Amino acid sequence: MTLVTLLDYAGVAVFAATGALAASRKQLDIIGFLFLASVTGIGGGTFRDLILGVPVFWVENPDHVLVCAAVAVFVFFSAHRVESRYKLLLWLDAVGLAAFSTIGAAKGLAITGSPVVAIVTGMLTATFGGILRDLLAGEPSVLLKPEIYVTAALAGAAVYTFGDLAALPPALSYAAGFAAAFAVRGGALKFGWAFPAYRSRPGRRPEDIP
């Protein structure tokens, strides 16, 4: 098992844990834990593979589903312990984000050769699972929070892609992309980094325009 594969499974497990914790906040039953854990853990990669027109990764190798199921059961019986370590989980989530953004970009670039597509698939792989989790659990979307999250995925995907275009050795491109995403997300976690939001004169709803 290569390091990339290991990081891939780790990412699935951590994202699944955040899905299971959302299920615990909504006081769902064990099946709800399984559902939200799986959607969060494998949703981003599923969407990436659909868009790239390649077989969905967990249909080819269902181990990822089993990882999500194991995490869901574990969290169901220990959510209060897991969430008391939420800070740790956020950092693990940053590892998953960094892993998924580079893995998604690498797959997009390998299949299409297009840097634009690679950056988009890297972003989607890292963020779509969390977006689905929030939609299905009826929680405020990670998209709408001022936290730097999607940006970190973008940074990881872009750095990997440019590294590959610059003909760096694959391991170096992976490492640089991973480091970039983790640094951006970690900085946001540690120092509260945020982009300036669009505040000055936000667009109004059509009916409010005189």
Q: Within positions 16 to 35, which residues make up the interface with its own copies, using CB under 8 A?
A: 21-33, 35
192 is a site residue for its own copies (CB under 8 A): no
Q: Cα–Cα distance between 64 and 140 in angstroms, integer?
A: 27
110 is a site residue for its own copies (CB under 8 A): no
Q: Within positions 47 to 106, which residues make up the interface with its own copies, using CB under 8 A?
A: 50-53, 55-56, 58-59, 62, 65-66, 76, 79-80, 82-84, 86-87, 90
In the complex, least distance from residue 2 CB atom to its own copies, rounded to whole angstroms: 23
Closest CA to 32 of 141, 136, 126, 129: 136
Q: Segment contacting its own copies (CB under 8 A): 8-16, 164-172, 173-181, 188-196?
A: 188-196
Q: Segment contacting its own copies (CB under 8 A): 7-15, 98-106, 130-138, 169-177?
A: 130-138
Q: Cα–Cα distance between 164 and 20 in angstroms, integer?
A: 35
Q: What angle in degrees, to the nearest 10, is found between the helix axes of 170-191 and 150-165? A: 160
Q: What is the four-CA torsion angle of 159, 163, 166, 170, rounded to 10 degrees?
A: -160
198 is a site residue for its own copies (CB under 8 A): yes
Among 5, 70, 110, 146, binds its own copies (CB under 8 A): 146
